[in-house]
Amino acid sequence: MPEKNTYPVQLLQPDGRRVWDRVHTPLIADVDADRLRAMYSDMVVARRIDTEATALQRQGQLGLWPPLLGQEAAQIGSAHALHADDYVFCSYREAGVAHCRGVPPEDLTRLWRGVAHSCWDADAVKMTNPAIVVGAQGLHATGYAYAAHLEGAEIATIAYFGDGATSQGDIAEALGFAASWSAPVVFFCQNNQWAISAPVRVQSATPIARRALGYGIPGVQVDGNDVLAVLAVTRQALQHARAGAGPSFIEAITYRMGPHTTADDPTRYRTDAELELWRGRDPIDRLRRLLERERLWDSAFEHDVDERAAAVAARLRAATLTMPDPQPTELFDHVYATPHRLIAEESREYAAYLEGAGR
């Protein structure tokens, strides 16, 4: 990881033309037509997951949803760089990454519907469930990475978080621990410009990637709406980690086109002009232009992607609408891994109460 790469790395311009870069172009030399199409497909599916979940929230089927609209390249590009045994630590906005890790659509909304505190089986896909407390997962990724390093396992972890999280002590502590331990962890900051209503300049007086340098960690800025550049820098960082060279930090400069969550109203704090500017940098349009330029686009492919996205959306919707409410007795399940006097007593008493009340 070259430390001087603080300019945003870009391999794909908004009009779909490639940029040649001596360091990063070779990192994606193997990306063929199939891989380009797969990334395009995943980006469209991620957007469709987001649209469907947002709609379900508006219809009262989900309590909350944190949209990823606009961040598809940052999520899909980085996720395509991961190996199956790398471990992902995420915030609540990484539904696109989850899709790439193999999380089925029916597992994406459980938390947001309020039937459980988690969505998918973390170990099955090597990706934790959403961390709601901002930044806590940076430390978890660091500890996991270090434990794997002690085992001699050649894996890396990646911690996803936003620009707001960089103000949290836990992210700062994670950078310190990771550097001290030379832990194989990649810090992946999706700088989407806004932490709810606070612009990134409220969080940091310096480019965020530069903060890593103070910890002795290489930091790079990448155009987060350029899926090829994100793939390249994430591959580079993961290789660096797996090779035992320690942590690195990626700042993907992107934009959250929707609200922070469905409870938020971005019209209160940002302008239409800003939104328009970023619409012109839409990550999906950009890859489509590349595919068109390189004659990898045809109506059969377009149709195929649409069908795939529609199928995922239909599965997501059907699964969400038919999720059974948990049983009241489940309140007491799994609070502890081992038998516990107080829980056993309360569980017994409440079951008797419900029975007595005929419920």
- Residues serving a catalytic function are 256, 260, 269
Binding window for another protein (CB under 8 A); candidates: 28-36, 174-182, 279-287, 349-357: 174-182
Q: Which amino acid is residue 316, in one-letter code? A: L
Smaller CB separation from another protein, 38 or 122: 122
By CB under 8 A, residue 314 contacts another protein: no
By CB under 8 A, residue 161 contacts another protein: no
**Exposed, middle or buried, 154 (CB in 10 Å: 0-12/13-18/19+)?**
middle
Q: Indicate the SS3 state at residue 228.
A: helix
> Binder to another protein among 19, 55, 69, 136 (CB under 8 A)?
136
Report in angstroms the alpha-carbon separations of 274 from 206, 247, 280.
21, 34, 10
Identify whether the C-beta of residue 312 lies closer than 8 Å to the C-beta of residue 49.
yes
Identify whether the C-beta of residue 65 lies closer than 8 Å to the C-beta of residue 332.
no
> Binder to another protein among 59, 118, 267, 329 (CB under 8 A)?
118
Task: Please tell me the distance from the alpha carbon of residue 261 to that of residue 215, in angstroms, as a whole number.
Answer: 32
Identify whether the C-beta of residue 188 lies closer than 8 Å to the C-beta of residue 234.
yes
Smaller CB separation from another protein, 31 or 103: 103
Smaller CB separation from another protein, 24 or 140: 140
Q: Smallest gap, in angstroms, from Cβ of residue 32 to another protein? A: 34
Task: Please tell me the distance from the alpha carbon of residue 225 to that of residue 281, in angstroms, as a whole number.
Answer: 7
By CB under 8 A, residue 352 contacts another protein: no
By CB under 8 A, residue 158 contacts another protein: no
Q: Determine the size of the site formed for another protein (CB under 8 A).
A: 43
By CB under 8 A, residue 187 contacts another protein: no
DSSP per position, 319-353: HHHHPPPPPGGGGGTTSSSS--HHHHHHHHHHHHH
By CB under 8 A, residue 198 contacts another protein: no
Binding window for another protein (CB under 8 A); candidates: 58-66, 69-77, 128-136, 306-314: 128-136
Q: Smallest gap, in angstroms, from Cβ of residue 189 to another protein? A: 17
By CB under 8 A, residue 173 contacts another protein: yes
Task: Please tell me the distance from the alpha carbon of residue 74 to that of residue 239, in angstroms, as a whole number.
Answer: 18
> Binder to another protein among 65, 112, 144, 249 (CB under 8 A)?
144
Burial 207-221 (b: 16+ CB within 10 A, else e): bbbebbbebebbbbb
User: Who contacts 157 (Cβ-Cβ below 8 Å, separation ≥6)?
Assistant: 86, 87, 88, 89, 141, 142, 144, 145, 148, 184, 185, 186, 241
Smaller CB separation from another protein, 268 or 341: 341
By CB under 8 A, residue 142 contacts another protein: yes
By CB under 8 A, residue 349 contacts another protein: no
Helical H runs in 59-135?
72-79, 95-100, 110-113, 122-125
Smaller CB separation from another protein, 123 or 276: 123
Q: Smallest gap, in angstroms, from Cβ of residue 318 to another protein? A: 22
- Interface ranges with another protein (CB under 8 A): 87, 89, 116-118, 121-123, 128-129, 133, 136, 138-148, 150-151, 157, 169-170, 173-174, 176-177, 180, 333-338, 340-343
